[in-house]
Every structure is written in structure tokens, then in C-alpha cells.
Amino acid sequence: MSFDEEWAELRSAAAEKQTVMRLNQLEPGGGGGPGPQGDLVVTQKDLAAVGDAAFKLRQRLGTDGDHAKASTYEAAGSLKNDFALGSALSTVANKWHDQVGTLLDACAHISNHLDYTQNAHAEDEYWIATQFKFAQLDKGFEERAQH
């Protein structure tokens, strides 16, 4: 399967699962504590699937991305003496190598971080909910102190 075919397949699958994000807010006069949950739902299974796809892409890109590197450098070396194209081909090969490296890093970043995203966001949600509770407590103490 070519990259374009695989990319189109992944985009199609993502479009089918697309979810709308809604930000929650504290209702006026409401207390702290857990309120209604937003409608954005991501399971660890979904995240793991994306992380696994990024890992597999990185594996293939690591091999396939450098497939032509040796022959391109050899051709550039052979052409440098007689044609300006040799130097340009060497520049293109260097740029290609840099870009493949950037993509490899991005795939590794995605793969490594998606494994832990759901847990990290659950901890963030807990921290935010706790901060709202404390803010409501502080507000209540301030109102009582003024009376």
C-alpha cells in the first residue's frame, strides 16, 4: 500500500470518528464539584491505535525514507565533476535526509505521548475540579467574613 493510499484510508477513518468538542462552564450559582462531562470522549484503545499507527509509520519511514540515500549520494558524487546537477543533487539528498529525520522524530513523539494522554488528562481534570472547589470555598469564607 502506498503512503497516499494509507494516508487517505486513515483520514477517512478519522472523519468517521470525528467528535465535536464542547467546553463546559460552571453554571451561575452552582457549587463546585464534578459537573456534566463534555461530549469529547477518547478511549485508551483509540489513543493506543493511533500511537501504534505512528510507531509502524516510523518503522517503515526509517527504512523506506533512506532507501535511495546511498545511490543518490553516489550519483551526486559522480556528477559533481562534470555537471552543476551533481552539487544540486547532493543538496537535495541532504535536505531529504533532514526532512525524513524530522518526520521520524514527529512519529516517535506521537507514538510515545499518545500512550499516556488519557491518564494525563484525567489528572488535569481532577486538578481543575479541585481548584474550582477551593475557589468556591474561598468565596464562601470571604462572604462570611464580610458579614
Q: Work out the pLDDT band at 146, boundaries 50, 70, 90.
A: low
Cell of 87: 552539487
The domain limits of the chain are 46-137
Helices 84-114 and 69-80 pack at an angle, to 10 degrees, of: 160
CB neighbour class for 51 (10 Å; exposed up to 12, middle 13-18, buried from 19): buried
Give tens-digit pLDDT for 117-145. 766 777 777 788 787 777 766 666 666 66
Give tens-digit pLDDT for 37-68. 666 677 778 877 888 898 899 999 888 888 87
Q: Give the total residue count for the chain.
A: 147
Give tens-digit pLDDT for 73-121. 888 888 888 888 888 998 988 998 899 999 999 998 888 887 667 667 7
> Does 20 score more than 60 pLDDT?
no
Gap between the Cα atoms of 82 and 76, Å rounded? 10
